[in-house]
């Protein structure tokens, strides 16, 4: 087995038990600044749950999610893309077993809905990047929040206000369903599917925008979403969303696609840089 397989497997299992420091920090500060009684109780339970998961080794949430993966293949990699994809697949298969993940995937979406009993297949996205260090990103995508994700095809002249209104309307409709406080990934531009892909990519990490207007837009969306007072657990209060990230792309003269991917407070993800030493066989 390659070292890489072991590393992906371990990081994915760890993601189901532990949150990134950035996510933890935002949850702690939401608890400290909350003045609504019910929302405070919910945020305290969330922080307790995080400690219990870490102490016992139980998953944070029973919905250990659908594996949403992004394989960013570096053009000068010393291995093939197909080897990288199959190594990732095998690592996920082992993570589901060794991590006691819930088997949440059904093969046929409409009729039999028979469980594959492996938590596979994952959703696999592939993109090409420059250089020789490929990356593998995995989101453990819970579906309480995914069911609140959506795309709107706006008028090309809708502008910034149109984008904000669309997102507010999608978040309002989500209400207390996606286990708020939420983390929001926003994808703008491209086509319907491209915008949706970008909204997931936005959940992976925060981008330093060269165009500061997009950074401002992230801040403004976060501020406006928090005026909805959906709050932790949907019971009111300040903390409806804790972070908004945008990814954007060029689009057609006739359109302005806007996609929203909603993550619950348990924003679980693994990021692996495929350095050469990880590619060696053990």
Partner 1 sequence: MERRLRLPYESIDELREVRAGDYVLLSGTLYVGRDQVHKRLGIMIEEGESLPFQFKGNGIYYMGPSPKMPGFVLGAAGPTTSQRMDPYSPMLMEKGLLLMVGKGPRKNNVVEAMKRYSGLYLQAFGGCGALYSQRIKSADVVAFEELGPEALLRLTVEDFPTICAIDSTGASPFFLS
Question: Binding partner 1 by CB under 8 A: which of 40, 122, 185, 233?
Answer: 233
| CA atoms of 215 and 35, how far apart (whole Å) | 28
What element of type H or E holds 98?
helix 81-98
Question: Nearest distance from residue 37's CB to partner 1, in Å?
Answer: 8
Q: What's the DSSP call for residue 127?
A: E
Q: How many CB atoms lie within 10 A of CB 244?
A: 25
Query: Is 48 or 132 the residue whose CB approaches partner 1 more closely?
Result: 48
Question: Binding partner 1 by CB under 8 A: which of 40, 142, 185, 189?
Answer: 142
Residues facing 248 on adjacent strands: 188
Question: Binding partner 1 by CB under 8 A: which of 4, 42, 196, 225?
Answer: 42
| Binding flag, residue 49, partner 1 (CB under 8 A) | yes
Query: Is 187 or 231 the residue whose CB approaches partner 1 more closely?
Result: 231
| CA atoms of 166 and 156, how far apart (whole Å) | 13
Query: Is 2 or 18 the residue whose CB approaches partner 1 more closely?
Result: 18
| # chain residues binding partner 1, by CB under 8 A | 46
Question: Do 262 and 212 contact (CB within 8 A), yes or no?
Answer: no
Q: Nearest-CA neighbor of 43 among 259, 278, 235, 247?
A: 235
Question: Nearest distance from residue 72's CB to partner 1, in Å?
Answer: 28
Interface segment toward partner 1; rule CB under 8 A; list 3-11, 95-103, 202-210, 253-261: 95-103
Question: Binding partner 1 by CB under 8 A: which of 4, 23, 30, 53?
Answer: 53
Chain positions 183 to 222 lying near partner 1, rule: CB under 8 A, are none
Question: Binding partner 1 by CB under 8 A: which of 21, 32, 35, 56?
Answer: 56
Question: Nearest distance from residue 47's CB to partner 1, in Å?
Answer: 10
What element of type H or E holds 144?
helix 143-146
Chain positions 62 to 81 lying near partner 1, rule: CB under 8 A, are 62-64
Question: Binding partner 1 by CB under 8 A: which of 236, 242, 256, 258?
Answer: 236
DSSP string, 45-88: HHHHHHHHHHHH---SSS---EEEEEEEEETT-SS-HHHHHHHH
Query: Is 13 or 84 the residue whose CB approaches partner 1 more closely?
Result: 13
Question: Nearest distance from residue 17's CB to partner 1, in Å?
Answer: 8
Which residues are CB-neighbours of 136 under 8 A, at least 6 positions away?
8, 69, 70, 71, 72, 84, 88, 270, 271, 272, 274
| CA atoms of 80 and 76, how far apart (whole Å) | 10
Query: Given the rule CB under 8 A, which residues bind partner 1?
Result: 37-38, 41-42, 45-46, 48-49, 52-53, 56-64, 100-104, 115, 117, 142, 144, 147, 172-173, 175-177, 179, 228-231, 233-236, 264-266
């Amino acid at each position: 087995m390659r070292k890489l397989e072991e590393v992906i497997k371990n990081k994915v299992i760890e993601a189901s038990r532990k949150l990134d420091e950035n996510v933890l920090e935002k949850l702690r500060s939401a608890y400290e600044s909350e003045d609504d009684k019910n929302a405070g109780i919910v945020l305290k339970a969330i922080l307790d749950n995080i400690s219990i998961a870490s102490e016992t080794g139980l998953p944070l949430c029973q919905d250990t999610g659908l594996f949403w993966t992004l394989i960013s293949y570096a053009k000068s990699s010393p291995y093939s893309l197909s080897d990288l994809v199959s190594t990732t697949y095998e690592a996920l298969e082992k993570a589901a077993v060794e991590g006691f993940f819930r088997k949440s995937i059904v093969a046929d979406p409409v009729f039999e809905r028979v469980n594959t009993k492996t938590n596979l297949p994952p959703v696999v996205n592939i993109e090409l990047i420059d250089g020789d260090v490929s990356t593998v990103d995995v989101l453990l995508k819970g579906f309480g929040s995914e069911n609140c994700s959506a795309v709107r095809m706006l008028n090309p002249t809708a502008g910034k206000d149109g984008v904000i209104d669309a997102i507010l309307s999608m978040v309002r409709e989500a209400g207390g369903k996606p286990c708020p406080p939420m983390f929001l990934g926003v994808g703008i531009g491209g086509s319907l599917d491209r915008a949706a892909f970008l909204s997931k990519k936005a959940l992976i990490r925060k981008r330093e925008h060269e165009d500061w207007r997009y950074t401002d837009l992230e801040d403004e969306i976060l501020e406006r979403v928090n005026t909805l007072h959906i709050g932790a657990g949907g019971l009111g209060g300040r903390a409806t969303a804790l972070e908004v990230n945008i990814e954007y792309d060029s689009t057609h003269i006739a359109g302005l696609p806007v996609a929203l991917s909603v993550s619950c407070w348990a924003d679980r993800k693994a990021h692996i840089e495929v350095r050469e030493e990880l590619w060696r066989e053990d």
